[in-house]
Amino acid sequence: VAQWDDAIDQLAIAFDGEPVFLPTTEDAQWTSAASALTITRSGRANEIVVEAANQFKITAKVVPIGKEESRIHNYGITDDDCFAHLDLSFRFYSLSGAVNGVLGQTYADNYKSRAKMGVKMPVLGGDREFLSSGLFATDCAAAQFKSTGRIIMEGGVDHHEELECKSSLNGRGIVCKK
């Protein structure tokens, strides 16, 4: 879009490859016929809550990228163009003790951040643990998924935690807090 307008919905929602049509009215809701997944508007435009009963709740809001973020990340956004990103908040209702990745590591009982906050873009892990052949591939060293789509679970973490991720360091990455 050329100019951002909070009142105009920019979300394109799909489930299992099929478009989800969700009216742009607050509290409008869509429920999957095949699962217990619901998508609810938490605002009139650009805000949704995705929830799988007794599994997880994800809040997503489309937020425009400002001039300062564009400058820091070298996006090159001009006055006649606009980019946006998602502010995400996660709540998991029942996690395995074997979870991995940024979210999983943050929920582990013995979690200690290995991210170097002084670097331009702090990350947890690197190529050795997380390099894969594609976005949905399961061939990285830390993968816990098999080709059957089942997850390997050892022990359980049964607590109600919430993780909120935001870019609040003047463009120096994403911070996730329990």
pLDDT digits (tens, 9 = 90+) for 36-92: 899 999 988 899 999 998 888 999 999 898 888 888 888 888 888 888 888 888 887
Are 178 and 150 found together in one domain?
A: no
Are 116 and 88 found together in one domain?
A: no
Encoding tokens for residue 97? Answer: 């003790």
Are 3 and 64 found together in one domain?
A: yes
Are 55 and 102 found together in one domain?
A: no
pLDDT digits (tens, 9 = 90+) for 12-32: 999 988 999 999 899 999 999
Residues 6+ apart with CB under 8 A from 33: none
Are 86 and 141 found together in one domain?
A: no
pLDDT of residue 60: 93
pLDDT of residue 82: 86
Cα angle, residue 87 at apex, residues 126 and 106 outer, rounded to 5°? 45
Are 11 and 87 found together in one domain?
A: yes
Give the range among 25-39, 55-69, 114-128, 148-162 with minimum mean pLDDT.
148-162
Cα separation, 105 vs 113, whole angstroms: 8
Query: What is the rounded end-to-end Cα distance, in angstroms, of the chain?
Result: 34
Range of the domain at 29: 1-93+160-178
Are 83 and 9 found together in one domain?
A: yes
Give me the chain's average pLDDT, please: 76
Are 55 and 131 found together in one domain?
A: no
How many domains are there within the chain?
2
Are 42 and 2 found together in one domain?
A: yes
Cα separation, 174 vs 167, whole angstroms: 5
Q: Which amino acid is residue 92, in one-letter code?
A: F
